[in-house]
Structures are given as C-alpha cells and as structure tokens.
Amino acid sequence: MLSKTVAELSAALDRKDVSSVELTQAYLDRIEKLNPDLNAYITVCKEQALKQAAEADKQRAAGNSTPFTGIPIAHKDIFCTRDVLTTCGSRMLHNFVSPYDASVVERLQQAGAVTLGKTNMDEFAMGSSNETSYYGPVRNPWDSSRVPGGSSGGSAAAVAADLCAIATGTDTGGSIRQPASFCGITGLKPTYGRVSRFGMIAFASSLDQAGPLSKSAEDAALMMNAIAGLDSRDSTSLDHPAEDFTAHLQQSLKGLRIGLPRDHFTADLNPAVQTILQDAIKVLESLGASVTEVDLPHNHLSVPAYYVVAPAEASANLSRYDGVRFGHRAENPVNLEDLYKRSRSEGFGDEVKRRIMVGTYALSAGYYDAYYKKAQKIRRLIKQDFDEAFKSVDVILGPTSPHTAFKLGEKNADPVTMYLEDIYTIAVNLAGIPGMSLPAGMLQGLPIGMQLVGPAFSEARLLNVAHQFQLNTDWHQRRPEVK
C-alpha cells in the first residue's frame, strides 16, 4: 500500500479500502522504523498528521475531496510551516519555529494533504549530496553507503523508500532533478515563477523554484495542479493562465520532436549511461517521436556563471541571519561585530560560508563587472541557446547526472568537483525553463535518471512525455529494498 502513487492512494481512499488515519499511521510507523538509518526526515509531525488525517477522512466522507485529501506527504525543510520547526538544514535555524506557512504548504493543506514531516536537505539548499546538512547526511535507500543527491535529498529518499506518498522539493541548480535521478523517482522543476516562493527560504532568488518529487509523472502533475499559480505575495510569481497539468497526460507522442544536445553525449558521459539513454530514446521513438541533435553552445559556461549568480544572491539573502530577531545567537557577545561574526560563523556550515564569501567577492567594488555582470550576460546567452534549440524541437533529452549515486564522502575533497555534478541541470535554472528527471534504467543496482527540458510553460508537455514513457516502461516502479 505504501508504495502506491498518489493517484492510486486517492482511489483507495475513495473506495474506503483504507482511511487516511490508517494510511498516515502506516507511514508514521515506517518512518519510525527506517528513518533512524536513512535520516530522511529532520522533523516528524506525528500528532498534527493524525489530526489532519482524521479531518481529511471526514472531508472525503462528506464528498469534499481533492486528489490530495488525506494523502500523506512530506515537505522539504526549506518551506516554512506554521508552529513547526523549520531548519533549512542549518544550525542557524535549529530553533526556528516558523510563525507562518509557505504558499506551497498552505495550498497543499487546503487541498487536504496530511503533512508527515519536514525532510532533510543540504544546508540552505547548497549542495549536491545532502552532506552539508547540519542534521547529518541522508542515506540513499538503494545503497546506504551512497548519497541520495541534493539538495532535496531527504525528500527524494523519503519518496523512494516509501516514507511518504509524494514530497515537495526546491531546485536552484538541479536540487530536485539530481536527487530524483539518484533515488529512482520522478522530479519536476517548473518554469521560474510558476510556483510561489513565498515562505520558501531563499538561496538564490532568481533561480529557486519549488516542485514535486514523486513516484510517477501523473503524481507530479497532480501536485502541480495543487501548488502552481499566481501568488500576490511573490512579486516574481507569474500571471499565467491556470491549467490542468493532467489534461494532456494521455496525449500521443506522435510528431514529438526530441533534441539531443551534442555536448551532453560526448566521451565525458559514462558509456553505460549513454546506452541506457539510447534505450530510453528508442522507447520514445517507438511511440512516434523523432530525434535530432541540437547545440547548446554556451552550456559549458553554465556552471561558472551559476557559481557567480547563485552565491551573489545568496550572500545577500543570508545577511538576515544575524542573531537579532530569530535563529541562532552567539552567547555573551561583547559587541555588535562579535554578535554578528560569532552568530553567523557558529550558525553556518563551511559550504554556506564559502558560498557567501564567493558571492560577497563577486559583488565587491572593482569585481562586479568581471563577475556578476559577466555572469548575467552569459545567462542571457544560455537562454538564447535554448530559445534557438526550441525552434526546431519540442523537448530536449539528456542525462540528469553524469553517473549514478556516489559514495558518501567521495566528492568532498574539493568543492569544484561537487559543483560539476550539476553540469546538465544548471543551465535550465539560469534560463528559467522547466526540466524534469525520470527513471530511465538501472546500472549496477542503482537508478539512472533521464532529463527532459522544455520551453517556458511546457510542464504539461514534459509530463505528457514522461507519463507515456512510464506507461511503456517500469523503471519508475522499481523500489529499493530498505532494511
């Protein structure tokens, strides 16, 4: 039962095969059993979840239900949840009980979802392995010696290990797609501005975007129906007509034009991963899609540009953590500077401090043009590359990550090695367009993800392609055996 999709659970609840209270209790039991090893959750909201479940059962009985009524979900701990600890994976917020709900949390709650808890993540979403969390690393359910990916590693592991039906995540440079790939699940990063950032703790404001980590493309579509849409509390939220993301799932792929970026399929890519992707492409071709090569000539500059833009924005976004109004405060500060410096140095981990310093440097007098402005220009070139490519193809397909989940500690020696993990995902954030990852095969017992990228507002099309692929393959149904 716990491995079922949201769509299946919703039907089961409708049929009264199970109640939300029973389902919620079953997930809570499994969390209690497995979380001590996986460390996917930072906070479990047992009482609140059971209360919400009981209410959801009433609502379903009264016929007031949405597909999410009574569905147990998890939120990445980057989303503010009223009266619930919200840490963002940082010591800085070890005591931050949010006085308000994020827009995403509020919308899912209104849809009747049950919140099981808050999932572990890289500190302030800065990381690709979940190892920068103050609350300890998350373990990959497929192999506990390996990382789940990051930064939404807790959400990905929780979905893969059936510790929730579906989870929310955020993606600034690949933080939904890469962990989805490493954990063998489906993840969608929507178009920038589709989902409100209100109440989502900022890392890099012009890149951050919330989205689902799910067991199927259909579930991702269902969650998008619940969370997407204009929010007046976020000035960058886009006023785009509401749409039903499930409406086109059944559409045929006949005539679909798929582009393969030449620079993604080179000798640098693991040949076994190449083979898996070629097999996936064959499936799509058999469903009526055609394939051509496309060029993204500035993709190789996406990591450098990203590591200016994201740290620069982060350096300012993280200035509010000063020990004055909330969060960690150093003991007995001798003066103001001491209060700031010690609170911040004790509260932030090494990777966060490093990025704050890189960003501070990139914005400082004399370097702004060479770094920040240059990066913003490359950002435009990257977006233009995609605009050009989408003149001849509908979606771009490639690997989500160069390889399968790596071992804990394997890439910690040098930050730059870790940064290059996101080489295939980062350009999508810089361009603001949607991208998703879905399971495409297995390599030595570990899942491999395939990335689909489309033009702005093409989420429904991406979900359609993914859903059709999932109707014809079973990679998304593989589950790890978690002991």
Q: Which of residues 320-359 bind another protein (CB under 8 A)?
A: 320, 322-327, 329, 333-342, 344-345, 348, 353-354, 356-358
Q: Return the structure tokens found at 453.
A: 């990228």
Residues 15-44 that bind another protein (CB under 8 A): none
Least Å distance, CB 145 to another protein, is 25
Q: Return the structure tokens found at 445.
A: 């017992």
* 483 is an active site residue: no
Residues 232-251 that bind another protein (CB under 8 A): 232-236, 238-239
Least Å distance, CB 3 to another protein, is 32
SS3 263: helix
Least Å distance, CB 19 to another protein, is 33
Instruction: State the Cα–Cα distance between residues 406 and 419, nearest whole angstrom.
Output: 14
Least Å distance, CB 231 to another protein, is 9
Nearest partner of 108 among 258, 253, 228, judged by Cα: 228
Candidates 106, 218, 219, 313: give the one binding another protein (CB under 8 A).
Answer: 313
Instruction: State the Cα–Cα distance between residues 459 and 56, nearest whole angstrom.
Output: 29
Instruction: State the Cα–Cα distance between residues 144 and 154, nearest whole angstrom.
Output: 13
- The nearer residue to another protein, 178 or 237, going by C-beta atoms, is 237
Least Å distance, CB 372 to another protein, is 6
Least Å distance, CB 168 to another protein, is 13
Task: Decide: 356 and 341 in contact? Cβ < 8 Å.
Answer: no
Selecting among 20, 90, 103, 175, the annotated active-site residue is: 175
Task: Decide: residue 267, CB within 10 A, 0-12 exposed, 13-18 middle, 19+ buried.
Answer: exposed
Contacts of 214 (CB under 8 A, 6+ apart): 5, 6, 159, 166, 167, 185, 186, 187, 188, 220, 223
Contacts of 282 (CB under 8 A, 6+ apart): none
- The nearer residue to another protein, 175 or 470, going by C-beta atoms, is 175
* 98 is an active site residue: no
Selecting among 76, 189, 215, 411, the annotated active-site residue is: 76
Candidates 94, 383, 403, 478: give the one binding another protein (CB under 8 A).
Answer: 383
Binding piece for another protein, criterion CB under 8 A, among 8-16, 30-38, 107-115, 312-320 = 312-320
User: Residue for token digits 């989940």?
Assistant: 405
Least Å distance, CB 337 to another protein, is 7
| Interaction between residue 377 and another protein (CB under 8 A) | yes
Instruction: State the Cα–Cα distance between residues 242 and 260, nearest whole angstrom.
Output: 30
- The nearer residue to another protein, 42 or 80, going by C-beta atoms, is 80
Least Å distance, CB 49 to another protein, is 22
Whole-Å CA distances, 454 to 188, 191, 469: 11, 9, 16
- The nearer residue to another protein, 19 or 299, going by C-beta atoms, is 299
Residues 167-196 that bind another protein (CB under 8 A): 192-193
Residues 78-137 that bind another protein (CB under 8 A): 79-80, 86, 88, 93, 95-100, 102
Task: Decide: 196 and 233 in contact? Cβ < 8 Å.
Answer: yes
Residues 399-438 that bind another protein (CB under 8 A): 414-416, 419, 430-433
Task: Decide: 474 and 215 in contact? Cβ < 8 Å.
Answer: no
Candidates 159, 305, 393, 466: give the one binding another protein (CB under 8 A).
Answer: 305
Candidates 3, 292, 319, 477: give the one binding another protein (CB under 8 A).
Answer: 319
Q: Which amino acid is at 348?
A: F
CB atoms within 10 A of CB 160: 30
- The nearer residue to another protein, 157 or 305, going by C-beta atoms, is 305
Least Å distance, CB 34 to another protein, is 29
Candidates 204, 256, 448, 460: give the one binding another protein (CB under 8 A).
Answer: 204
Nearest partner of 180 among 210, 160, 165, judged by Cα: 160
Selecting among 103, 129, 151, 401, the annotated active-site residue is: 151
Instruction: State the Cα–Cα distance between residues 126 and 421, nearest whole angstrom.
Output: 13
Least Å distance, CB 153 to another protein, is 20
Residues 64-83 that bind another protein (CB under 8 A): 79-80
- The nearer residue to another protein, 129 or 470, going by C-beta atoms, is 129
* 175 is an active site residue: yes
Instruction: State the Cα–Cα distance between residues 260 and 243, nearest whole angstrom.
Output: 28
- The nearer residue to another protein, 86 or 186, going by C-beta atoms, is 86
CA angle 46, 49, 53 (to 5 degrees): 140
Contacts of 59 (CB under 8 A, 6+ apart): 65, 69, 70, 112
Candidates 456, 460, 466, 482: give the one binding another protein (CB under 8 A).
Answer: 456
Contacts of 152 (CB under 8 A, 6+ apart): 76, 119, 121, 125, 167, 169, 170, 171, 175, 176, 179, 187, 213
- The nearer residue to another protein, 93 or 163, going by C-beta atoms, is 93
| Interaction between residue 200 and another protein (CB under 8 A) | yes
Number of residues that bind another protein (CB under 8 A): 99
- The nearer residue to another protein, 206 or 290, going by C-beta atoms, is 206
| Interaction between residue 267 and another protein (CB under 8 A) | no
Active site residues: 76, 151, 175
